[in-house]
């Protein structure tokens, strides 16, 4: 913190976006930036070893900064604060700072920074939840506590992907949210379609200050023991049918898989997004480099990495030309 310095004349609004893996945080940010009239600083945290999400944030008038390889809520005194201070010191002030928490992070812990940093004013914590997966995640003994912490930190809950569930599924998701965070407003969305105004949730008030001060005294929570990062790097391109078989057979402990890869029958790069058992492949406007780079997050399971690597390797075709020793799965 900038101890001993007077509070600035103007304070930059801060909004924290949280939600479990694959809930739609990056989609929400891209929608915000596409329709924004202001200049945003976007800080993207990713638990994985490679910050794929930051690379998916579309170009905008402000600045996107990567916070990689761990939850910033577990290490607020490290590089995160340095990055934030650099943003606040920019000669041309930003209209708004938005922090995308990692999919296993605690957005409430990140929001605390605005309660003690004189250059910031907290606008709120927006937490997304996947309508299809929410009840199951909440009931999972490995994941439920992480999910509950995220939801209880919210000033606004966004029940996303409502198109993937029927009326009974939406009711079950609503019931789960009400049980975890009674009284917090809920907005239902498809593809995280929210107006820019959602990022101005009102000024800080006594209730926000009380909630934050309680959280500041709470014992810090680390996610390193509950989740593990997986990194898959290979030279070559995937056979499409083989890749589909591999993704269908992924270990149950795998929560999220994303990254760039090439297909043997296509010339362009493709983006893989996998959440739970659902996955999608979409072409990217760049040539395929005949290599794959994927990051995964799994509930701690020593067999997850070898299983993932074995399944993907079976679908991989060797490169046309040597790429050196790029193969790795950790």
Question: In this predicted model, what pLDDT tens digit does every residue of 91-106 receive, in sequence order?
Answer: 888 888 888 888 888 8
pLDDT at 226: 64
Which among 77, 163, 138, 147 is positioned nearest to 113, based on CA atoms?
77
> How far, in Å, CA of 311 to CA of 316, rounded?
9
Contacts of 289 (CB under 8 A, 6+ apart): 262, 269
Residue 197 or residue 160, greater confidence: 160
CATH 3.30.1220.10 in the chain, residue ranges? 227-329
Residue 171 has pLDDT above 90, yes or no: yes
Q: Which CATH number among 2.40.110.10, 3.10.180.10, 3.40.50.2300, 3.30.1220.10 corresponds to the domain 227-329?
A: 3.30.1220.10
Output the pTM of the full model. Answer: 0.71
Q: Binning pLDDT at 50, 70 and 90, where does residue 321 land?
A: low
Positive or negative, the CA dihedral 93, 94, 95, 97 is negative
* Region for residue 315 given its phi and psi (left: phi exceeds 0; alpha: psi -120 to 50; beta: otherwise): alpha
> How far, in Å, CA of 315 to CA of 311, rounded?
7
> What's the average model confidence in pLDDT over 120-139?
93
Strands 328-329 and 63-68: unpaired
Number of residues that make up the chain: 330
pLDDT at 49: 37
Q: At the topology level of CATH, where does 12-217 sit?
A: Rossmann fold (3.40.50)
Residue 13 or residue 131, greater confidence: 131
A 10 A CB-CB count for 268 gives 12
Residue 28 has pLDDT above 90, yes or no: no
> Is residue 287 within 8 Å of 215, Cβ to Cβ?
no
Which position has the token pair 């790069």? 269
Residue 3 or residue 19, greater confidence: 19
pLDDT at 169: 97
Residue 311 has pLDDT above 80, yes or no: yes
> Is residue 101 within 8 Å of 72, Cβ to Cβ?
yes
Residue 26 has pLDDT above 60, yes or no: yes
Residue 323 has pLDDT above 60, yes or no: no
């Amino acid at each position: 913190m900038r101890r001993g310095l007077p509070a600035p004349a103007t304070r930059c609004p801060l909004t924290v976006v949280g939600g479990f893996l694959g809930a739609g945080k990056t989609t929400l940010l891209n929608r915000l930036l596409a329709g924004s009239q202001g200049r945003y600083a976007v800080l993207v945290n990713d638990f994985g070893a490679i910050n794929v999400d930051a690379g998916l944030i579309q170009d905008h008038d402000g600045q996107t900064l990567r916070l990689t390889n761990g939850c910033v809520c577990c290490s607020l005194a490290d590089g995160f604060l340095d990055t934030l201070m650099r943003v606040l010191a920019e000669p041309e002030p930003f209209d708004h700072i938005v922090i995308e928490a990692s999919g296993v992070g605690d957005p409430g812990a990140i929001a605390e920074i605005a309660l003690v940093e004189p250059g910031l004013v907290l606008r709120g914590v927006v937490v997304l939840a996947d309508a299809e997966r929410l009840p199951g995640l909440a009931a999972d003994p490995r994941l439920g506590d992480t999910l509950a912490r995220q939801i209880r930190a919210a000033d606004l809950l966004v029940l996303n992907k409502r198109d993937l569930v029927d009326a009974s599924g939406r009711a079950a998701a609503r019931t789960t949210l009400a049980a975890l965070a009674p009284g917090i407003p809920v907005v239902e969305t498809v593809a995280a379609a929210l107006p820019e105004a959602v990022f101005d949730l009102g000024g800080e008030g006594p209730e926000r200050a009380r909630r934050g001060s309680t959280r500041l005294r709470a014992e810090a929570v680390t996610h390193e023991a509950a989740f593990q990062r997986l990194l898959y790097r290979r030279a070559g391109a995937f056979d499409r049918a083989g890749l589909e078989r591999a993704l269908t057979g992924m270990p149950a402990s795998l929560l999220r898989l994303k990254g760039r890869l090439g297909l043997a029958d296509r010339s362009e790069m493709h983006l893989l997004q996998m959440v739970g058992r659902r996955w999608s492949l979409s072409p990217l406007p760049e040539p395929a480099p005949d290599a794959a780079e994927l990051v995964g997050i799994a509930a701690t399971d020593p067999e997850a990495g070898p299983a993932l690597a074995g399944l993907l390797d079976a679908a991989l075709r060797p490169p046309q030309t040597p790429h050196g020793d790029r193969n790795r799965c950790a």
